Amino acid sequence: MTHVVGVDLGGTKTAAGVVSERGEVLMSETIPTLNRDGGEAILDATAALIAGLVERAADAGVTVSGVGIGSAGVIDASSGAVVSATDAIHGWAGTELVSGLSTRLSLPLSAVRAVNDVHAHALGEAWLGAAAGSSSSLMVAFGTGVGGSFVLNGEPVLGHRFVGGHVGHFASPLAVFDGVPLSCVCGGSGHVEAVASGPAIYESYLRFGGSSHEAADTRGVFALAASGTHDGGAAAVSADGRAAALRAVGLGAAAAGQAVGGLINILDPETVVISGGLADAADLWWKPMETALRQELLAPLAKVPVLRATLGNTAAIVGAAKLVL
């Protein structure tokens, strides 16, 4: 049986696992991403992580024949280079990801492949997760940022310049406050990510009059929105704070659903998968998101399945492995 290592290389941590041709993750390990040390240091650390797993696999009688990587940044899937990346990983843009790892691991170039991490995530869900068995699937992830991927006949659609999937960076009519478009991390304004990401929900909470003393981050906003008003002491939840939290969560969810609904109208996928930290926030976010989504849909698309991702933290590992399996 063929086995490969799948790698999920993100801005804060890098996870890798030995994956069988059936998609079973036999063993895995996670290390911090050296996101301030430059591309070569990250390649060294990632190669050491992979080599350790290969050695563990060999001890178990398993031979690893290749490596697939899902990486943060825009990845040229033909050359394996990092075309561009945000400041979340210093010095990542321009890194020769595939050739650098193949040299360090003494593997042929043909045995190492790479794509963007969200494409790897979507590929995992399309192979073995919520969209398994679908001929086409749209996955959109809402968390620290907003990203997506359209998988068609088992292959993620990468785009001519490998930028496909940046679904957080088109205009949202809800990304406005007091008539001014909200700034986006990409340098633009009025984009989906500027209103629908986790950090954007927290910023909305503050704009709506919420206090950092009641909610210090996005997780706190959701906890505040889910709470009732209690009596007594400093732990009391103010009615104004909870109202600001509910308004912020509702706005972010509506913007997310509206954006996904528009994408469904364009792409007509068989299955839609919603992933990311916000998708795990139960009905408080999911219900208004899906309501807004379905309000956008053209009539023939009214019954499209909209599902939560099911593979969790292993999705990108499994999807990256699928690149070489």
> Is 136-308 assigned to CATH 3.40.190.10?
no
Return d(Cα 250, Cα 237) in angstroms, integer.
19
Joined together, the tokens standing for residue 96 give 């020769």
* pLDDT score of 301: 98
Return d(Cα 254, Cα 289) in angstroms, integer.
5
Mean of pLDDT over the chain: 95
* pLDDT score of 230: 46
Return d(Cα 172, Cα 182) in angstroms, integer.
10
Residues 142/286, Cβ–Cβ less than 8 Å: no
* pLDDT score of 236: 64
Residue 118 has pLDDT above 50, yes or no: yes
* pLDDT score of 244: 98
Residue 235 has pLDDT above 70, yes or no: no
The pairing of beta strand 176-177 with beta strand 155-156: unpaired
Exposed e or buried b for every residue in 215-227, given b needs 16+ CB within 10 A? beebebbbebbee
pLDDT band at 71 (very low <50, low <70, confident <90, very high): very high
pTM attached to this predicted model: 0.94
Q: Do domains 3-129+312-324 and 136-308 have the same CATH topology?
A: yes
Q: How many C-beta neighbours within 10 Å does residue 62 have? A: 16
Looking at domain 3-129+312-324, which of 3.90.550.10, 3.30.420.40, 3.30.43.10, 3.30.565.10 is its CATH number? 3.30.420.40
Name the percent of the chain lying above pLDDT 70. Answer: 97
Q: How many C-beta neighbours within 10 Å does residue 266 have? A: 10
Exposed e or buried b for every residue in 86-120, given b needs 16+ CB within 10 A? eebbbbbbebbbbebbbeebebeeebbbbbbbbbb
Q: Which of 70, 137, 3 is nearest to 315 (CA)?
A: 70
Domain limits of the chain?
3-129+312-324, 136-308
